Amino acid sequence: MSGPEETQETQELASEYVLGTLSAARRREVEQRLPTDAALRAAVSTWQEQLLPLAALAEPVEPSTGLWRRIELSIAPEPASAVARKSAATGWWQSLNLWRGLAASGFAAAAIMAAVLLRQEMAGPAAPGYLVVLVAPQSQAPGWVVQAVQAGGSQQQIKLVPLGEPGRAAVPAEKSLQFWTKADGWTGPVSLGLVQPGQTVQIPLDKLPPLQANQLFELTLEPANGSPTGRPTGPIQFIGRAVQL
């Protein structure tokens, strides 16, 4: 139903999102709606523009001399988007900078938070050797957790578990969430299949090398039947690296 009430609701939500008074949960709700809700996106953008002059009320603070260097190192050695542009054959996912940057930014805090949330999960019989928290690139909100499960012998499985609202967020019509992994030294990400929002899946890794520290996992938005190329083609929804426990 679309009407004046919805418009009013959109406006109020947008204004308090930009103002900053929404709770963490409602902020995430807005961030999830933004990609698909054009009216909300327009309202948020307009508020951002209109309130921007208020940023001038914060006194300027000179950054530490090392801050730019830190940023530079995080985007080094070669710009991600330049790599993507150079060749259509080598995808953007091959850029280590992109992966590094995404995994580094705000990741520790999210990992700690999710590790706390996970304590009950991990009380199960098979203690995982690795933990991966997948966070949304923009908001850093944790959405999924990957646990490695030693299923006896050398056979290894991983379990992908949704976390709270972000992990349950529906994907747009005609789209799917595809799960990928890439360890250091691999030529590209390998698909681990399609996943349903909000549903835990267990995936055998029998065709892949054992899980290793720092291994990357991500969920991307792909066409309904998955990526047509066998490589990620859509935007990253969640991303994270394996941390040894």
Partner 1 sequence: MRRGWLHQPTIRHTSTHVPNPADSSNVFDYERALQACAEGDRMALQSIYQHESRYLLGVALRIVRQRQQAEDVVHDAFLNIWQQASRFDAQLGSGRGWIYSVVRNLALNAVRNGARQVSVDEETTAALENRQAVDAHTDVEDAFAMRANLGQLNDCLAQLEPARRNCILYAYVDGCSHGEIAERTQTPLGTVKAWIKRGMSSLRTCMGGLAV
Nearer residue to partner 1 within complex by CB, 58 or 89 = 58
Q: Nearest Cα to 171, choosing from 193, 150, 196, 194?
A: 196
Q: Are 115 and 142 in contact (CB under 8 A)?
A: no
For residue 139, give every residue at least 6 positions away whose Cβ sits within 8 Å of its Cβ, in sequence order, or none.
27, 28, 31
Q: Which residue lies nearer to partner 1 by CB, 188 or 235?
A: 235
208 near partner 1, rule: CB under 8 A: no
Region of 135-143, 162-170, 185-193, 199-207 interacting with partner 1 (CB under 8 A): 135-143
Span between the terminal Cα atoms of the chain, in Å: 48
Q: Which helix (H) or strand (E) holds 129?
A: none
With binding defined as CB under 8 A, does residue 112 bind partner 1? Answer: no
190: alpha, beta or left? (left if phi > 0; alpha if psi -120 to 50): beta
**With binding defined as CB under 8 A, does residue 34 bind partner 1?**
no
36 — phi, psi (to 5°)? -110, -10
Site string for partner 1, 165-184 (x = CB under 8 A): --------------------
- By the rule CB under 8 A, 104 interacts with partner 1: yes
The answer to whether residue 36 forms part of the interface with partner 1 (CB under 8 A) is no
Residue among 55 and 173 whose Cβ is closer to partner 1: 55
Q: Rg of the chain's alpha carbons, rounded to an integer?
A: 20
Is residue 83 a contact point for partner 1 (CB under 8 A)?
Answer: yes
Q: Which residues bind partner 1 (CB under 8 A)?
A: 7, 10-12, 14-16, 18-24, 27, 39, 41-43, 45-64, 67-68, 70-72, 74-75, 78-83, 85, 98, 101-102, 104-106, 109, 113, 137-141
